Amino acid sequence: MKMFSEQEIETDLNERLRAAGLDPADPQVVLISGVVKQYFAQRTAEVLERVQAVLAQLAPDKPH
């Protein structure tokens, strides 16, 4: 399950990079942004899995 669209994340990240004085099109910035996006996507998925596990323990007969 995706909580945010890729375009929404890309737009927000690019705005933040520009505000920090970085060019989102710079090859090094693109590379670092890709690593950061993958990291946070993985961490978000882990958090969602943990939440689902807790919900399953609270109400084991209901799907989550």
Cβ atoms 37, 9 nearer than 8 A? yes
Q: Measured between alpha carbons, how far is residue 53 from residues 3, 20, 48, 59, 61 in Å?
A: 18, 38, 9, 10, 13
Expressed in angstroms, the distance from the first to the final Cα of the chain is: 12
Cβ atoms 45, 51 nearer than 8 A? no
Q: What is the pLDDT of residue 61?
A: 75
Domain spans of the chain, in order of start: 22-64
Q: What is the pLDDT of residue 2?
A: 62
Q: What is the pLDDT of residue 54?
A: 93
- Residue whose token pair is 């399953």: 56
Q: What is the pLDDT of residue 64?
A: 58
Profile the chain (64 residues) by mean pLDDT over runs of 10 residues: 76 95 96 92 92 90 66
pTM equals 0.68
- Distance of alpha carbon 37 from alpha carbon 39, whole angstroms: 5
Q: What is the pLDDT of residue 1?
A: 53
